[in-house]
Structure 1
Amino acid sequence: MIKSAVHLKSALLRYGLALALPFLAGCASPRLQHYVGTPTTPALYTDHLLAEDGYRLPLRAWSPVGRAQAVVLGLHGFNDYRRAFEEIGEYLAVRGIALYAYDQRGFGETAGAGDWFGVERLSRDAHLAARLIREHHPGVPLYLFGESMGGAVVLLTLAQYPDTPVDGAVLMAPAVWGRATMSWIQRGMLWLVAHTIPQVRLTGRDLNIRATDNDAAIKKLRADPWVIKDARVEVLWGLTDLMDQALTTPPPARLPVLILYGAQDQIIPKYPTCRWLAIRPEVAVHRLVIYPRGWHMLTRDLQGETVLADLAAWLRDPAATLPSGAELRDRMPGFCEPFEPF
């Protein structure tokens, strides 16, 4: 749930120099967490994935009756966890498509939840998960599906591990709000607080930013004990490192990719999204859908079933006509032009 990240970054401006200056005499910097476990053979279990370092990634699967027509591996957003794919998994399962979703390292029910384990580790986990699920479903198309932060992880996984055994990817509101698309005040305050009081926790609850127009979905997130409600500034620093890399990483030209974005998105702004889209290769297998009434959590919005129907159609056939009719076939005219930052 990258909404938290946007809230927290904006909240930094309200804390200002008065909060950080008293600590400037000290020496601090954002920390990267490392898990030291017993090396083991990676494995896929019914309720978790076991990484090669012994780290346990809680897992949930939604399976159709009979053999799956396609399989999806879902990567959730910032401060969220595997339950983010509950509605998607249920919808796809009755249409013959299986979905697996795990808690990414540092989120949900994982050890060290609330810590940041780094871009490379998140990508390595995704690569490993894809390999294990591919072994479990030989001969069935396998797709990566990343929401928000998960979309950034998908991009970097496919760039850093080109041998990841998948047949395509879905990027839903990918987190590409890197430093190059932030104001100098945002960049400066993030650096200052991250290097003086990196362990301070922020929530940004007083900011008027919405992730979805579905109040019931927001209420459900707030009541869920495994959804992280705040974050340390050093974790935001790590998340921004991830978004920096994602902003300059296009989807792989060799794979079909479905890109989904809501025109009402207040979490990943239009400007960084359009800047990222501008480096997208001109290949027919990449498809872009802009939902005029869509917010950040597209599948949890009030018009979420429209997005789900497009998703299911594409997973069955990446060349199929999408039922919503919201696909942009002429790149970005009318959406990203004029191309202005916030």
Structure 2
Amino acid sequence: MSFHAFFLPIRVSGAVRFLLARCVQLYLAGRRPYGLAAALLLLLPACTTTLPPVPRPPARFADLGQLVPPQKIFVLSDGARLPARVWAPSGPPRALILVLHGFNDSRDAWEGPAPFFTAQGFLVVAPDQRGFGQAPLRGGWAGTERMVADVKEIVHQLQAQYPQLPLYLAGESMGGAVLMLMMAQPDAPHVAGTLLAAPAVWNFGKMAGLPLRVLSSLFPRALVTGRELPVHVVASDNMMALARLYYDPLTIRATRLEALQGLVGMMKQAAIAAPRLHGPVLCLYGDQDQLVPPSAMGAVWRDVPASVRLDLIPGGHHLLLRDRHGDRVMRDMLSWMTHPGTWLPSGGDSAAATWLAAGEGESPLEKQDALLPVLPAALDNLAPP
């Protein structure tokens, strides 16, 4: 088959098709810097502007498709309304945790770990971020600046509503990147602590990000699903958690190229912002993370202030809190919030120090295949039959 056949479903000039096909040829010849280009090219045949329908789970797993209504609505300064789920402890709360979801995910990302924290007396609040879940601009990209401003407004609202409670911030993947950018600002809010679970950080080189910039400029509304990638990405070892992510009506299963480009830009900004983080910070990372490579996280860990606690979770995947052994992550987070001066229960402090001392994460980014961030649609083959 001619490489040009990859591009028949999209109306682009013959010259563009030739240049893009040449990227694939270079990739297959072993020219790894073109990894992102090749991955994008393999996505192009399925590009469309029509969102796929919400899949129905098998009858015996009907709960996986449950739509849980929000318990709270945050009204922001521009009139936007961000729905949120709230999990309250049985007694008076000892502290409050504002938790943020990852890319294409929603407020439901925290329904698994939330009961663990409420059992320890924490009030947990999980909003949909703008562009995701049931928030405005679903499927689009509001822009990094707007998303950071949204979270800052929510923080101020919660501090005004619960002035007596210590406020912690926790973010998974993209949510972690948003928190990093907010907490790196000179006027970062004063909070009790920030917890970053596999934050989406990756300082892509200029050439690695070029193909996506070109495609997102040419076809900003085109949708990709991730199914076409010639790789098998394991985001978690918990099959039921992945199935819930896939069947959840709030999950976005096809991504506009403009949103993907926005995420890549945010990841780079977050990596660059790492040295300027304010306040107490715990950063967790799994050594089996296939979405944020060791080189990307290693670069960030070497740049963060000395006050940032590093926590390496052996065997942990990108969706750390949803892994089968996600309770290790939760216990570390709880210990850090309640007894910040003690060693983490998992031994993650020592594991992180050993990981860095052994030179893990020091290989140049240019030598790694630049894979696209995982899209929930790519997980459909993991759903129960």
TM-score range, shorter chain: 0.7 to 0.9
SS at match of 1:87: coil
Amino acid at match of 2:221: Q
Amino acid at match of 1:272: A
Using the TM superposition, name which of 220-229 and 330-339 deviates more.
330-339
TM-score (norm 2): 0.74
Aligned mates of 1:252, 1:170 — CA distance in 2: 15
Aligned mates of 2:114, 2:223 — CA distance in 1: 33
Query: 1:69-148 maps to which residues of 2 (within 5 A)?
Result: 69-148=94-173
Aligned mates of 2:361, 2:125 — CA distance in 1: 37
Q: Which runs of 4+ in 1 moved over 6 A?
A: 7-10
Query: Contact (CA 8 Å) 1:60, 1:102: kept in 2 or not?
Result: yes
CA shift for structure 1 position 97: 1.1
CA shift for structure 1 position 161: 5.8
- Spell out, residue by residue over 1:187-243, the C-alpha distance to the aligned partner (whole angstroms, 9 max, x if none): 232122112122111011143111101111111111111100111111111111211
Query: Contact (CA 8 Å) 2:283, 2:311: kept in 1 or not?
Result: yes
Of the three residues 182, 187, 193, the one matched with 1:168 is 193
Of the three residues 209, 214, 227, the one matched with 1:187 is 209
CA shift for structure 1 position 318: 2.2
SS at match of 1:299: helix
Amino acid at match of 2:110: F
- Spell out, residue by residue over 1:242-297, the C-alpha distance to the aligned partner (whole angstroms, 9 max, x if none): 112101012655411111000000111111111111211123xx211111110000
Using the TM superposition, name which of 291-300 and 315-324 deviates more.
315-324
Amino acid at match of 2:169: L
Of the three residues 313, 322, 327, the one matched with 1:291 is 313
The residue aligned with 1:239 is 263
Identity %: 37
SS at match of 1:52: coil
Structure 2 unaligned blocks of 5 or more: 1-34, 48-69, 369-385
Query: 1:145-164 maps to which residues of 2 (within 5 A)?
Result: 145-160=170-185, 162-164=187-189
Aligned mates of 2:129, 2:37 — CA distance in 1: 22
Instruction: Label 1:102 to 1:161 Cα distance change in 2 as closer, same or farther (>3 A).
Output: farther
Instruction: Label 1:110 to 1:291 Cα distance change in 2 as closer, same or farther (>3 A).
Output: same
CA shift for structure 1 position 140: 1.9
Query: Contact (CA 8 Å) 1:47, 1:58: kept in 2 or not?
Result: yes
Aligned mates of 2:360, 2:133 — CA distance in 1: 35
Instruction: Label 1:70 to 1:333 Cα distance change in 2 as closer, same or farther (>3 A).
Output: same
- Spell out, residue by residue over 1:120-157, the C-alpha distance to the aligned partner (whole angstroms, 9 max, x if none): 11001111111111122223211111110001100111
Query: Contact (CA 8 Å) 1:8, 1:202: kept in 2 or not?
Result: no
Amino acid at match of 2:248: D
The residue aligned with 1:25 is none
The residue aligned with 1:39 is none
Query: Contact (CA 8 Å) 2:184, 2:277: kept in 1 or not?
Result: no
Of the three residues 348, 357, 365, the one matched with 1:333 is 357
Aligned mates of 1:143, 1:218 — CA distance in 2: 26
Of the three residues 312, 324, 335, the one matched with 1:302 is 324
- Spell out, residue by residue over 1:153-207, the C-alpha distance to the aligned partner (whole angstroms, 9 max, x if none): 0011112362413121001111112323x8x3x4232122112122111011143
- Spell out, residue by residue over 1:5-29, the C-alpha distance to the aligned partner (whole angstroms, 9 max, x if none): xx9987413257x999xxxxxxxxx
Aligned mates of 1:303, 1:88 — CA distance in 2: 11
Query: Contact (CA 8 Å) 1:8, 1:204: kept in 2 or not?
Result: no
Instruction: Label 1:54 to 1:338 Cα distance change in 2 as closer, same or farther (>3 A).
Output: closer
Structure 1 unaligned blocks of 5 or more: 1-6, 21-44
The residue aligned with 1:323 is 345
Aligned mates of 1:242, 1:337 — CA distance in 2: 20
Of the three residues 25, 38, 42, the one matched with 1:14 is 42
SS at match of 2:111: helix
Query: Contact (CA 8 Å) 2:36, 2:211: kept in 1 or not?
Result: no
SS at match of 2:182: helix
Query: Contact (CA 8 Å) 1:69, 1:316: kept in 2 or not?
Result: no
The residue aligned with 2:67 is none
TM-score (norm 1): 0.83
Instruction: Label 1:226 to 1:152 Cα distance change in 2 as closer, same or farther (>3 A).
Output: same
The residue aligned with 1:226 is 250
Using the TM superposition, name which of 197-206 and 301-310 deviates more.
197-206
Q: What is the Cα-based RMSD across aligned positions, in Å?
A: 2.4
